[in-house]
Amino acid sequence: MPTGDAGPGVAAPPAGTPDEGAARDRLDRLFLLQRQASRTIRPPEPRARRTRLEQLERVLRAEARAIHDAISADFGHRAWLETVLAELLPVLEGSRFARRHLFRWTRPRPRRLGLAFQPGRAWTMPQPLGCVGIVSPWNYPLFLSVGPLVDALAAGNRVLLKPSEQSPRFSALLGRLLARVFTEDEVAVVEGGPAISRHFCSLPFDHLAFTGSTATGRAVARAAAENLTPLTLELGGKSPAILCTDRLTPTGMRRTARVLAVSKFFNAGQTCVAPDYVLVPADAVEAFADHLLAETARLFPVLAGNPDYTTLPAGPHLARLERMVAEAEAGGAVLRRTPAHAMEAGMALSERRFPPTIVLSPPLDSALMREEIFGPVLPLLPYRSEEEAVGFINARPRPLALYCFTDDRRREASLIRRTLSGGVAVNGALLQAGIPDLPFGGVGESGQGSWHGEAGFRRFSHDRPVYRPGAFSGFTTMTPPHGRLADRLLPLMLGRRR
């Protein structure tokens, strides 16, 4: 069970090797250790949870450069600022946010009682689920492992982490860093290949959180179902962007193209919430493609040796993108690249840098439009009316994100109301996934459940209901033999007069 967001990556060790056997034994030992501790040791108080989060932040800040170097080595090359902006800062901000609000989140919350249950008092109290498993992918290995870890720790859980086998250097470093802050019965990292991932997902965790592809998410759900393990699935899919007609001025198209170029080609398109295709008014497709290319040239004047442009990981991912683009072109699509990128494409590809590519009107039955692209390729599709654009989106699986580009508030509200996606950004992209106070999650084939901030705290907690009746209870008063008192009270309880 690979854990990447799209397609397999570097080859894993063969099944049944001694290393794999040792990893499995260690996984079983750690799981039993944490499960037993969650059943016998009192959950940490909010003050202790805050202290641990603060210690975690301190380690991450101190080792920021080492973290980036490990991630960059696993990728082949990744820009330093991409690691800082997309991984370190969101994790640190999420942890600080949890610390600031933790005491409020952990307070019991009173609940209202109807007349039938009066007098009395009812409330809910959040309690940790116990032992939580987190399976994270390679594309954002810090954010997508430590992000849910922060939420699970804020809720008072013990956590086992299984990072992707495609990020081995980062996984080893993460295990060492977390061991500075936590004991093995609190938090631990398990390394290993697909067989270890399969075994990990088959364990009876109190909750299992998985981030990765939709196809792998199905396999995770099947494994978890054997134990009725509750799941949070953060998957992917094809997140659409809509360029509305009020933005067809040169300024409007330029502003939209800037956002889409930055968000699509960030991390070389290897982002689960990256725009996967753009719906463009039919008479503006060529002009908008020109604006996209101009913004792309501004971001990346050259590709080969460019320290700001991230590579693809080793493995078949590069060949997969080449096949998808070639199939679309053979089906009648038009490929657009900047002149500089077109000239140096061969050299860039030899460095595993796939050139930013705009694809005009790819066939709808091509892999480019069936599968999540997960690379720096952006299809543009023409539409003739807002109804057609909405119908196109709604006829496909629910996306993880929807991006709407308009300055018309009524059109914005209409598009949001008439579509359904995990999240929405208006005149922006990607950033909604990093805001601590916004729940992040998919719907349907793009996932189930949300995390980040209070949503993550609630996801990894059980909101336990408690009811305490008063000295007098209408229910116990209404016992047989029934008489006049019951006749008088019953209409009141039903909400009507006799």
Active site residues: 234
In single-letter form, the type of residue at position 300 comes to F
Find the farthest-apart pair of alpha carbons in the chain and give their distance in angstroms, rounded: 94
Rounded Cα–Cα distance for residues 3 and 161 (Å): 12
Rounded Cα–Cα distance for residues 276 and 471 (Å): 61
Rounded Cα–Cα distance for residues 139 and 75 (Å): 9
Helix (H, G, I), strand (E, B) or coil at 168: helix
In single-letter form, the type of residue at position 159 comes to V
Q: Which of 115, 174, 166 is nearest to 142 (CA)?
A: 174
Helix residue spans in 160-239 (DSSP H): 168-181, 194-202, 214-225
Beta carbons within 8 Å of 110's beta carbon, 6+ residues apart: 121, 122, 123
Rounded Cα–Cα distance for residues 65 and 83 (Å): 10
Q: What Rg do the C-alpha atoms of the chain give, in angstroms?
A: 26
Rounded Cα–Cα distance for residues 301 and 356 (Å): 11
Helix (H, G, I), strand (E, B) or coil at 382: strand
- Contact indicator for 451, 209 with CB cutoff of 8 Å: yes
Q: Which of 31, 38, 442, 39 is nearest to 201 (CA)?
A: 31
| Paired tokens of 45 | 């108080």
Rounded Cα–Cα distance for residues 219 and 386 (Å): 37
Please state the length of the chain: 498
Rounded Cα–Cα distance for residues 218 and 204 (Å): 17
